[in-house]
Amino acid sequence: MNKYRLTQTRSQLLKLLKNTPLPVSAEDLLQKVPVNKTTIYRQLTSMVAQGLIKPVLFTDRTLRYESADRDHHHHLICTNCKKIIDISFPENIEQTAQTSASAQKFKINTHHLEFFGLCQNCQ
């Protein structure tokens, strides 16, 4: 693939990730961007390394990605239909975790918090 097409693919991927409110997998992206698997994976890896996107690993072991410029948030995941909903917590709750960790002389750099259950449709 020439350099021009590569740049195009890259910006196309970034745009998709920015416009999709929820984390998407490489498979999802493959259906929208007309390039091969290897290119997608290589681009995703390099964009993660550059801090443009963030990998999100759910317990179904599918690696998904979301734009890194989103505000800090967590996910509610329906175990039946796999729907993902974003939620955020008040800052003082996040701070409480940091305070508890500090008591163990531990400095938290990052965290992932996913909640599993059933969405409204699946209850």
Type of residue found at 86: D
The answer on whether 81 is annotated among ligand-binding residues is: yes
CB 88 within 8 A of CB 74: yes
> Considering beta carbons, is residue 46 or 96 the nearer one to Zn ion?
96
Phi and psi dihedrals of 53, rounded to 5? -130, 160
> Considering beta carbons, is residue 80 or 102 the nearer one to Zn ion?
80
Helix axes 37-49, 3-19, angle to 10 degrees: 70
> Considering beta carbons, is residue 18 or 83 the nearer one to Zn ion?
83
Contacts with Zn ion, 73-102, as mask; x by CB under 5 A: -----x-xx-x----------x--------
- Least Å from the CB of residue 88 to Zn ion: 7
Long-range contacts of 26-34, Cβ-Cβ distance < 8 Å, separation of 24 or more: 26/63, 26/65, 27/62, 28/64, 33/9
119 counts as binding Zn ion under rule CB under 5 A: yes
Q: Of 15-23, 40-48, 51-59, 112-120, which segment contacts Zn ion by CB under 5 A? A: 112-120
